[in-house]
């Protein structure tokens, strides 16, 4: 199963990178597979510092900002407990991990990570159609260079309905951010 989350990694100087990612997770969360492109900062960081933190978050505005490189300032973090890494202060759960294997023989690297520590800050907000729609729209926005624009616009039109019907302020702000990034009216 793919779980959308936010991964933090450190570069050689200790700077934190925030990257939304959808790892393939094991049902017991003991291991998962990340598949970053070799052009990504996450790939470079994990290649040189094979530790990080996968976060379960329900803040779609944070996910959209991180995915679209629109973080005005980095989110607040605290030190990880078992790896050299950073934990988001406002997350639901987190999974500290160490890289066990890294296969970069294909365009998308396969990184098998073992969870070495997990903890919880708060309950997950719950299901909301607008959150899911914004997440899907954000993924589309990161694929502007891969998908035909007409296809993206048609999908955005479909996704707008659940946002209009079920969004709160955070989801509306994230929707606007994504639409502005794509260059369409929200």
Would you say residue 142 has pLDDT above 90?
yes
Tens digits of residue pLDDT in 57-92: 999 999 999 999 999 999 999 999 999 999 999 999
Domains of the chain: 5-120 (2.30.110.10), 129-182 (1.20.58.290)
Dihedral angle of Cα 62, 171, 185, 3, to the nearest 10 degrees: 60
CB atoms closer than 10 angstroms to residue 121: 16
Nearest alpha-carbon partner for 80 in 91, 95, 63, 64 = 95
Q: How confident is the model at residue 146 (pLDDT cuts 50, 70, 90)?
A: very high
Residue 47 has pLDDT above 90, yes or no: yes
Written as one string, the DSSP assignment of 147-186 is: S-HHHHHHHHHHHHHHHHHH--HHHHHHHHHHHHHHTS--
Q: Which of 92, 79, 114 minimizes the C-alpha distance to 6? A: 92
pLDDT value, residue 21: 96
Give the predicted TM-score (pTM) of the model. Answer: 0.94
pLDDT tier at 24, thresholds 50, 70, 90: very high
What pLDDT score was predicted for residue 127? 81
User: Facing residues of 16 across strands?
Assistant: 10
Distance separating alpha carbons of residues 159 and 58, to the nearest angstrom: 18
Residue 186 has a pLDDT of 79
């Amino acid at each position: 199963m793919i779980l959308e989350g936010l991964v933090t990694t450190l570069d050689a100087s200790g700077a934190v990178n925030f990257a939304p990612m959808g790892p393939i997770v094991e049902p017991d969360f003991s291991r998962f597979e990340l598949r970053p492109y070799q052009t990504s900062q996450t790939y470079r960081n994990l290649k040189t510092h094979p530790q990080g933190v996968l976060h379960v978050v329900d803040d779609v505005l944070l996910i959209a900002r991180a995915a679209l490189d629109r973080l005005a300032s980095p989110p607040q973090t605290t030190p990880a407990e078992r790896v050299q890494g950073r934990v988001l202060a406002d997350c639901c759960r987190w999974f500290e991990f160490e890289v066990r294997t890294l296969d970069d023989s294909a365009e998308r690297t396969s990184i098998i990570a073992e969870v070495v520590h997990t903890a919880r800050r708060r309950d997950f907000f719950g299901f909301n159609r607008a959150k899911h729609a914004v997440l899907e729209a954000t993924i589309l926005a990161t694929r502007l260079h891969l998908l035909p624009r007409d296809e993206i616009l048609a999908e955005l039109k479909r996704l707008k309905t659940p946002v209009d019907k079920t969004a709160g302020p955070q989801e509306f702000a994230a929707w606007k951010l994504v639409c502005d990034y794509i260059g369409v009216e929200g």
